[in-house]
Structure 1
Amino acid sequence: MPIVLALVLIAVGSVLFHFLSPWWWTPIASNWGYIDTTLIITFWITGTVFVAVVLFTAYCVYRFRHGTAERPHYEPENKKLEWTLTIATAVGVVAMLAPGLFVWRQFVTVPDEATDVEIVGQQWGWSFRLPGGDGRLGTSDIRHITAENPLGLNPNDARAKDDVVIASDDLHLMIGKPVKVLLRSTDVLHNFYVPEFRGKMDMVPGSVTYFWLTPTRTGTFDILCAELCGVGHPQMRGAVVVEDKASYEAWLGKQQTFAEATQRLKTTKTDSTPDGSSARN
């Protein structure tokens, strides 16, 4: 009897925890309502099966407990039961997978008005690139990566010269503005993950992955790496700041373009000797 009661408490407690858990009412910072809907569908299907199996186990423990007069019935095959379980399982799996296909289509179908934002992962930090006045990102290649050009932007591409490169600061986004998030890695496999955005994506060396989002709540949100990438993986942190248009434009106006940063480095090298003193002196 204690085992039966324990099983019933597990089933009832799991249902109550799901409905009373604080995360259920946590506001989301982006527009992924359809992802939450998919999760809820999955919870209902898997939760129903879980409760049914646990309660059936409790019934069997009680009904066929030791000391009853019941004799076991030998039935090695039951085609009706096998077909019922097979069909029910297939329907449940399809019900969980089908919404995911629609969600994935929305996840990668970028609206025309979205602005490109590039996020680059490397052991063990994040760098960002925003389009300049031309509204387009220039090309890049790992062969161009140097200490002065950590993102590998093509110095011969005119479109790259006005790109805004952010190597040691937070990424800022404008609230209500769709963005296409372009993801690439310069060394090993990483994964860009902002929990509040309800979106994450692998960053595969040698390729560019992407998804899109529309920030719908201002605030500062943590960037995590969700793929084990070496000993510094736990410290690979960053932040996304979602703010209003005026604050975003004020921040963007303070950032340097790739051409400005390159020219500044050249000037610094020209004006300094190897020991750090001024060459003009």
Structure 2
Amino acid sequence: MSSTTDASTGRAQIAARTLRTDRWWLPPVANAAGLAAWVIYATVRAFMQDYYYVPEYGYLTPFYSPCVSTGCVPEASHFGQILPDVWWLPYAAISLPFLLLFRLTCYYYRKAYYRAFWLSPPACAVAEPHKRYTGETRFPLIMQNLHRYFFYIAGLITLINLYDAIEAFFKPGGGFGLGLGNIILLVNVVLLFAYTLSCHSCRSGVGGRINHFSKHPVRYKMWTFVTKLNTRHMQFAWATLVSLAVTDFYIMAVSAGWITDLRIVG
């Protein structure tokens, strides 16, 4: 029997694109549909510039946090108003680009959209249609190496989301309040922290450059905790997309008067 492998190409020399008989195309199609739907929704909401704040209960959607445009409702501008109010500039234009870059350069999302949109490769053991691949060594993919820096900024923005969630427990008119919106905001922040802390850059930063964990027991415990989160990074990545959309839609619905907030206290 002759060899089916050509060392010069490094790939099996078979006529078929793949020998897989399962529905290998289903995950990339589902990923493409899910990511496209989320991007369309988020883009529309970011430029809608309305129904982002509930003044009665202090609910601020994370899509507009921090709200730093002069067009923002003053009560929603927890960190001042420094951007001009123009239709093509989102109210949270300071944070949104960095959050987008953090997710675009995320190790899991790279796998998801490389396979879903670029077919590079579409699935394991399935040949990609591209004749050559230069890796992440040229523009624009070389920008993927900036992921760790976007991680730092995303962590700061997540802290701002936490501040917004805590602030919403104290109604603008005074007094403590608790409603379904507060619970949704808090769950969203917990998931955002889980996604951010499970990042590969976070794991590397916590446990990297240590030759002997026994000499660094605190960092070892931190690294162990982050490692456990890291094994669920994919799940947290999708869970946060869902929680962000649900949180935003709920606040939009309450702000627009489509539904009323379910109040528990106050």
- Give the alignment's TM-score, normalised by structure 1: 0.29
- Give the alignment's TM-score, normalised by structure 2: 0.30
Hey, which of these two has a bigger chunk of strand by percent? 1
Hey, which of these two has a bigger chunk of helix by percent? 2
Larger Rg: 1
